[in-house]
């Protein structure tokens, strides 16, 4: 292989590493939250260009209190929708909004009002 071939090979490897890091990094966002003795599960979610964490694991049947910390005024994340629980809530910019629901067993999607940002609540 010529030196330029090596350069291309190294660039390709670097790109693969970067892509893996990006996607595997996102999967690591899953948070397993435990119920406190009081009963409710508290989960903090940062809203900024997406939801972080975007996958939230909670015990099935638990009362969940999501605190959404919106750190942007991008209109995309104006609203939070959790269809399975009939929730549609405005998220004021640069404020924290608390949303409560009982997590029935299963995977429940949550998203922005336009359906562009996604996350899920996994209750099992
Ligand atoms: Cu949106």
Using the mean position of ligand 1's atoms as its centre, give its distance from the Cα of residue 38 in Å: 34
Distance from residue 92's CA to the centre of ligand 1 (Å): 14
**pTM for this one?**
0.74
What's the rounded Cα separation, in Å, for the pair 44 and 124? 19
Please provide residue 29's backbone torsions phi and psi, each rounded to the nearest 5 degrees.
-70, -10
CA dihedral 101, 97, 117, 24 (to 10 degrees): -80
The token pair that represents 69 in the structure block: 């910390």
Which of the four pLDDT bands, split at 50, 70 and 90, describes residue 34?
Answer: confident
pLDDT tens digits, one per residue of 49-77: 999 999 999 999 999 999 999 999 999 99
Q: pLDDT at residue 16 above 90?
A: no
> 5 alpha carbon to ligand 1 midpoint, in Å?
43
């Amino acid at each position: 292989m010529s030196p330029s071939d090596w350069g291309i090979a190294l660039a390709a490897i670097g790109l693969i590493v970067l892509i893996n890091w990006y996607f595997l990094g996102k999967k690591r966002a899953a948070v397993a939250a435990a119920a406190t003795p009081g009963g409710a599960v508290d989960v903090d979610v940062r809203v900024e260009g997406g939801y972080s964490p975007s996958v939230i694991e909670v015990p099935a049947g638990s009362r969940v209190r999501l605190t959404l910390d919106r750190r942007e005024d991008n209109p995309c994340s104006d609203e939070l929708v959790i269809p399975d629980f009939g929730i549609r809530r405005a998220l004021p910019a640069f404020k924290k909004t608390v949303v409560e629901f009982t997590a029935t067993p299963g995977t429940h999607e949550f998203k922005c009002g336009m359906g562009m940002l996604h996350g899920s609540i996994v209750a099992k």
